[in-house]
Structure 1
Amino acid sequence: MKTNVEYDTYTRDREAVINLTTDLVRIPSVYRDNDPYGNETKVALYVAQYLRDRGIETHVEEVIPGRPNVIGIVDSGKPGKTLLFEGHTDVVTEGDKDAWTYDPFSAHIVDGRMYGRGTNDTKGNLACMITAVHSLIQDKEEFTGKIILCIPVDEEGLMIGIKHFIKQGWANDVDGAIICEPEENNVCIAQRGAMRIRIDVYGKMAHGAISWSGINPNWRMARLIVELEKLEKEEQARLGEDPYLKWPSITPTILQAPVKGDAQINVIPDHCMMTLDIRTVPKQNHDELLGKINAIIQRLKEDDSDFNLELTILDNRPSTITDADDPVVKAIYDAVESVTGEKPIYNGVPGATDGTFLHMHGIPIVTIGAGDRDIPHQINEYIDIEELAVTTAIYRDAALRFLKGEE
């Protein structure tokens, strides 16, 4: 392959990133309450020691008990910009282990691919960013400013790790951030926003054969779902298809009735609950969209005096867009072109990332990394070995460009 990284450096870093990815994947870090064998602690402490062993200033901070962020600092000692690399330690559940061809925490390598939970999302890319920064140290590369390695917990949940990182002041002087997620090394300058909403509809429990003696919350919830589907279609027609993010969406995910106690076919429940996973594009305003949802609810209540509903916002993350001419985007774009010899592809992230909160903090972000975009969270998750090496070279090159101020 064409690369501006010296052959010996590329070969050395390739071996290092494969070994580190293997070690990280073999430490399960699915977050489960009260499960000492399935949380982020072990992998975070492993990463912290790995950084210390390579002379990188390292900090470990508990976000909540048993869930630590790791922060690595490489300071050139010269005034200049600050570049942040971000990659999380947690992974989603492996699901049914028996459905996997190889053990999900074995990091089994076959035919140029490593299989396992987190290989793609995003322990492989976490290994790439660490290896890239260590490579700069090994080769005594000259640069100005400093690099921060942000390695938080809970990206797959409510992102408490990155929120804590920002609250502690680590992001205050950052000039640009590279979010290390599986994007086939596309240069992703936009990402969809997310609103997670819980809706509770309350009724009156009754015998199914005597329906008039109860108030069925399921009918009310069904009417709301139909109206929300209409709103989704209206928003899609109004906004059209985003060039990077496709369509905005309103998706009912969990439906549960009754919410407590056992369900019976001949019993009208007194409570129905639904969750909504709403994904937005930059042209949408979250407050305006929420206003439209509330207007629907108000209209339904006016038509039905027994419509008793409670709406709770669980999470609210705006969409993001970074100008293609921003220095951090330009550094990544030029690095991809230099390392691969191919014209980079601009794209967007279909979901939200920890980068959302960095963006909200005023930091320009770009998302890029190794891995098929459709593989995260699937059975038989994998990463191509050579793509790990290429991504490491891209991160390395981009850091030098950004911190040397190359145009």
Structure 2
Amino acid sequence: MKTDIQHPSYQRDREAVIQLTQELVRIDSVYRGEEVPGANEEKVAHYVADRLRSYGIETHVEEVAPGRPNVIGIVDSGKPGPVLLFEGHTDVVTEGNREAWTHDPFGAEIIDGRMYGRGTNDTKGNLSCMITAVHSLLQDEEEICGKIILCIPCDEEGLMIGIKDFIKKGWADGVDGAIICEPEENNVCIAQRGAMRIQVDIYGKMAHGAISWSGINPNWRMARLIVELEKLEKEEQERLGEDPYLKWPSITPTILQAPVKGDAQINVIPDHCRMTLDIRTVPAQDHGELRSKIDRIIEKLKADDPDFNCELTLLDDRPPTATDKDEPVVRAIWEAVKQVTGKEPIYNGVPGATDGTFLHVHGVPIVTIGAGDRDIPHQIDEYVDIEELAETTAIYRDAALRFLNGEVRKDG
């Protein structure tokens, strides 16, 4: 079994994945809110579903929210064996200011070996790789055991309602391994940072800025909290050290808003200040313990200041993940990367959460790998190298054969 660049399928699949990536990127799938008809993943999801059906793949389309469907493809060999899941989402982040782009964000132009556009890197390129890889197996009538599930959810860039719905409806039950198709420079990523998103509301009393003693300024209270949270971040970093794949845990204030409602004025003390925290964790951290440390900070601030009126709201909680190197899905990917590239694979970690986070919580071993510079997602003039798309397609194809047919080793 060979799936390297000398394999007869390589050039065919290279042309196919480039074409499919261009077609998907040219369909705007930014979620722009329910008030904008068609401004979501619906068009690209139906396009993908039609493509899967044209390949003879059993296809299901399930609406998760209005205009926001999941697509599920099933390739069942009819033989007993493991279940392998490929996951790649259909949504992309906003293009932002179009005038700042050198290239049309939805043009999928190819210039000097790179394809430019929103989603080329994150992650329509890798979605195209996984679809092309599975189609390649079907075209070549490769013998496999078990089953392949193509999980193509909406809303990975938001609250991940797509993957949550996929799991809730039972599609992930019985899955033995999942390949999460995200831009990781084809590093074999076996860990992910967790995420806690917290909204902090501090309430005060509105007053004239020149008569500050007649009010209660929530901004001073928020400033004290931020200083204490920075100390907590440093304590956690010193306690845990640098993770070999994920670097440092972090506590990051992102949005600061005061007043929360109404117009801001320079001579008015607001009655309400709000902050959001983007907390990123490593596998050695426990989210419950970290939340308790934050609660204790607030309790101390309240004890020191009877006017410290603070509320915390947990918006999202995604645990960190770690997968053992000896898991069959990791071994299959590791061996496929070595076969296709001829180089020693690099183990690494994902700096943020992915849909794989919730598959991991469900008990599915995950590995994250795909084409694309790890620093390019969400940037202006996002791009992917087209040769890397071809390479990734070959890696996915090879890994699927190894995993489904039990051709993986525990050494190496």
Q: Distance in 2 between matches of 1:159 and 1:99?
A: 28
Q: How does 1:208-219 map to 2 (within 5 A)?
A: 208-219=209-220
Q: Distance in 2 between matches of 1:5 and 1:353?
A: 29
Q: Which residue of 1 aligns with 2:62?
A: 61
Shift of 1:66: 1.0
Superposed CA offset, 1:339-390 (max 9, x none)? 1100000000000000000000000000000000000000000000000000
SS across alignment from 1:370: coil
Q: Which residue of 2 aligns with 1:85?
A: 86
Q: How does 1:6-405 map to 2 (within 5 A)?
A: 6-33=6-33, 34-405=35-406
**Could you tell me whether the CA contact under 8 Å between 2:57 and 2:74 is conserved in 1?**
yes
Matched to 2:375, the amino acid is: D
Q: Distance in 1 between matches of 2:66 and 2:373?
A: 34
SS across alignment from 1:223: helix
Q: Which runs of 5+ in 2 are unaligned?
A: none
Matched to 2:151, the amino acid is: C
Shift of 1:259: 0.3
Matched to 1:13, the amino acid is: D
Matched to 1:215, the amino acid is: I
Q: Which runs of 5+ in 1 are unaligned?
A: none
Q: Distance in 1 between matches of 2:266 and 2:231?
A: 30
**Could you tell me whether the CA contact under 8 Å between 1:28 and 1:37 is conserved in 2?**
no
Shift of 1:64: 1.1
Q: Distance in 2 between matches of 1:352 and 1:104?
A: 24
SS across alignment from 2:195: strand
Q: Distance in 1 between matches of 2:94 and 2:249?
A: 27
Shift of 1:7: 3.9
| TM-score (normalizing by structure 1) | 0.99
Q: Distance in 2 between matches of 1:37 and 1:23?
A: 17
Q: Distance in 2 between matches of 1:388 and 1:164?
A: 29
Q: Distance in 1 between matches of 2:36 and 2:192?
A: 32
SS across alignment from 1:401: helix
| TM-score (normalizing by structure 2) | 0.98
Q: Distance in 2 between matches of 1:35 and 1:245?
A: 38
Q: Distance in 1 between matches of 2:234 and 2:318?
A: 21
Percent identity (aligned): 81
SS across alignment from 1:200: strand
Superposed CA offset, 1:312-336 (max 9, x none)? 0000011000000100000000000
SS across alignment from 1:309: strand
Superposed CA offset, 1:94-148 (max 9, x none)? 0110111111000011000000000000000000000000000000000100000
Structure 1 range deviating more: 220-229 or 8-17: 8-17
Superposed CA offset, 1:233-277 (max 9, x none)? 000000000000000000000000000000000000000000000
Shift of 1:32: 1.0
Matched to 1:265, the amino acid is: I
Shift of 1:162: 0.2
**Could you tell me whether the CA contact under 8 Å between 1:3 and 1:340 is conserved in 2?**
no
Q: Distance in 1 between matches of 2:120 and 2:137?
A: 24
Shift of 1:6: 4.8
Alignment: residue pair count: 406
Q: Distance in 1 between matches of 2:180 and 2:210?
A: 56
**Could you tell me whether the CA contact under 8 Å between 2:84 and 2:400 is conserved in 1?**
yes
Matched to 1:160, the amino acid is: I
SS across alignment from 1:298: helix
Shift of 1:4: 3.0
Superposed CA offset, 1:209-234 (max 9, x none)? 11011000000000000000000000
Shift of 1:5: 5.6
Q: Distance in 1 between matches of 2:288 and 2:403?
A: 36
**Could you tell me whether the CA contact under 8 Å between 1:3 and 1:341 is conserved in 2?**
no
Shift of 1:36: 2.7
Matched to 2:99, the amino acid is: D
Q: Distance in 1 between matches of 2:38 and 2:242?
A: 43
Q: Distance in 1 between matches of 2:181 and 2:308?
A: 45
Q: Distance in 1 between matches of 2:65 and 2:102?
A: 35
SS across alignment from 1:358: helix
Shift of 1:37: 4.4
Matched to 2:18, the amino acid is: I
SS across alignment from 1:374: coil
SS across alignment from 2:8: helix
Shift of 1:3: 5.3
Q: Distance in 1 between matches of 2:286 and 2:166?
A: 26
SS across alignment from 2:340: helix
